[in-house]
């Protein structure tokens, strides 16, 4: 199993952070896109690394032209020698319209078109195919020689797709190389009952198999040494749950667990701008309902048994002392030795 770590903050920190991650033995380095540009961050990370895979997690698709993003991904893939994955996300309606100043339409069909156009662009550059993609949202029918960057000597970038709802999960099964469940609000039960079955539908409709995908492990997981830590760590998880749980797009997860009222309350508080009160509105029982627990030292066995579908995982381990750093290195190596089936139980094709 590949072990993932993240970098963030000002992009000028990316080269050093990515270099350290590679030296420490991580397989993949990712970056989000909150207050800084994910593509710039990954481009800089490519300049100081040689082995580690680079993935945006995620790049907001809809505020960007597919052509612009295809160009950036092509350049990073060239710069990195074939190590880049373009992880796409749709973001929610309010942010697309009010923060990015863009437009909104049904996100799953639009994302399908977006990926198709990006790949059509790449195909014309790599194989000389004619630009003739025409969709409802996007059109690509012109490519002059001056604007063609030329072939890559490596494979085309992988495309990852972030998801919560079944519509986007199905698109992932149809089109993506990497399935990226939204780790900010995801339970193992929702993953197995909603996300993975929808991914399977997409695979079937596109004539693909589970072997065509890499899937990131997901689901709230509390890691601990002593059981006394569990409650404290669950209290700490309330911040993420309150933030994502305030967005109606993510209420599907809460509804599956009978937490509809919590989602409605968090949404109401967010509309009133009462951000400081939202975390306190999340009861510990809600976090416990969504979470699984595991001792740090038992993590490899847990992943083999409970994340059998996954080929990659992100693990947060304390590294404050020398002893903790040594244990983190040992645990990472043990996780990397885990071999999984790569397909979800009960969802075989």
> In this predicted structure, which of 31-35, 273-277, 344-348 has the lowest mean pLDDT?
273-277
Is there a contact between 235 and 306 (Cβ–Cβ < 8 Å)?
Answer: no
Domain range for 202: 2-226+296-336
165 occurs within a structural domain? yes
> In this predicted structure, which of 35-39, 48-52, 112-116, 271-275 has the lowest mean pLDDT?
271-275
d(CA 42, CA 48): 11
Gyration radius (Cα) of the chain, Å: 20
Answer whether the bond into residue 58 is a cis peptide, omega within 30°. Answer: yes
Quote the pLDDT of residue 163.
97
Kindly tell me if the per-residue pLDDT of 244 is higher than 90: yes
Quote the pLDDT of residue 186.
95
- Residue 276 binned pLDDT confidence (cut-offs 50, 70, 90): confident
Provide the domain count of the chain. 1
Quote the pLDDT of residue 301.
98
d(CA 37, CA 87): 13
Kindly tell me if the per-residue pLDDT of 172 is higher than 90: yes
Kindly tell me if the per-residue pLDDT of 284 is higher than 90: yes
239 occurs within a structural domain? no
148 occurs within a structural domain? yes
Work out the average pLDDT over 78-102.
97
Higher model confidence: residue 125 or residue 316?
A: 125
349 occurs within a structural domain? no
CA angle 299, 300, 305 (to 5 degrees): 95
Quote the pLDDT of residue 339.
97
Higher model confidence: residue 336 or residue 276?
A: 336
Kindly tell me if the per-residue pLDDT of 47 is higher than 90: yes
Work out the average pLDDT over 130-137.
97
What is the phi/psi pair of residue 4, to 5°? -110, 145
305 occurs within a structural domain? yes
Buried residues in 109-119 as b, exposed as e (16+ CB within 10 A): ebbbbbbbbbb
Residue indicated by tokens 């983190």:
328
Is there a contact between 91 and 168 (Cβ–Cβ < 8 Å)?
Answer: no
Q: DSSP letter string over 236-269?
A: HHHHHHHHHHTSGGGHHHHHHTT-HHHHHHHHHH
164 occurs within a structural domain? yes
108 occurs within a structural domain? yes
Count of H-run helices and E-run strands, the chain: 15, 13
Quote the pLDDT of residue 287.
96
286 occurs within a structural domain? no
SS3 at position 162: strand
- Domain CATH code at residue 80: 3.20.20.30
> In this predicted structure, which of 131-135, 180-184, 198-202, 216-220 has the lowest mean pLDDT?
180-184
Kindly tell me if the per-residue pLDDT of 102 is higher than 90: yes
């Amino acid at each position: 199993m590949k072990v993932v770590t993240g970098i963030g903050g000002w992009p000028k920190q990316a080269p050093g952070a990515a270099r350290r991650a590679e030296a420490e033995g991580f397989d993949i380095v990712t970056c989000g896109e909150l207050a800084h540009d994910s593509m710039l961050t990954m481009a800089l990370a490519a300049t100081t690394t040689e082995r580690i895979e680079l993935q945006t997690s995620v790049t907001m698709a809809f505020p960007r032209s597919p052509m612009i993003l295809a160009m950036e991904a092509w350049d990073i893939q060239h710069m990195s020698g074939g190590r880049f994955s373009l992880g796409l996300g749709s973001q929610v309606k309010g942010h697309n319209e009010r923060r990015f100043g863009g437009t909104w339409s049904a996100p799953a069909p639009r994302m399908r078109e977006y990926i198709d156009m990006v790949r059509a662009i790449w195909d014309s550059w790599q194989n000389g195919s004619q630009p003739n993609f025409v969709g409802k949202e996007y059109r690509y029918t012109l490519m002059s020689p001056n604007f063609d960057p030329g072939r890559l000597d490596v494979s085309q970038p992988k495309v990852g797709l972030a998801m919560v709802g079944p519509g986007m999960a199905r698109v992932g099964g149809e089109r993506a190389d990497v399935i990226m469940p939204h780790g900010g609000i995801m339970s193992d039960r929702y993953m197995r009952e909603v996300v993975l079955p929808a991914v399977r539908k997409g695979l079937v409709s596109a004539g693909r198999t589970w072997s065509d995908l890499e899937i990131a492990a997901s689901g709230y997981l509390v890691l601990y040494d002593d059981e006394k830590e569990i409650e404290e760590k669950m209290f700490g998880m309330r911040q993420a749950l309150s933030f994502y749980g305030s967005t109606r797009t993510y209420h599907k997860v809460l509804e599956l667990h009978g937490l509809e009222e919590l989602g409605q309350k968090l949404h109401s508080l967010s509309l009133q701008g009462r951000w400081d009160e939202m975390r306190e509105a999340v009861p510990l029982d809600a976090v416990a309902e969504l979470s699984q627990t595991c001792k740090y030292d038992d993590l490899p066995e847990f992943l083999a048994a409970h994340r059998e579908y996954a080929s990659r995982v992100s693990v947060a381990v304390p590294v404050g002392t020398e002893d903790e750093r040594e244990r983190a290195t040992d645990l990472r190596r043990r996780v990397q030795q885990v071999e999984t089936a790569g397909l979800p139980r009960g969802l075989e094709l």
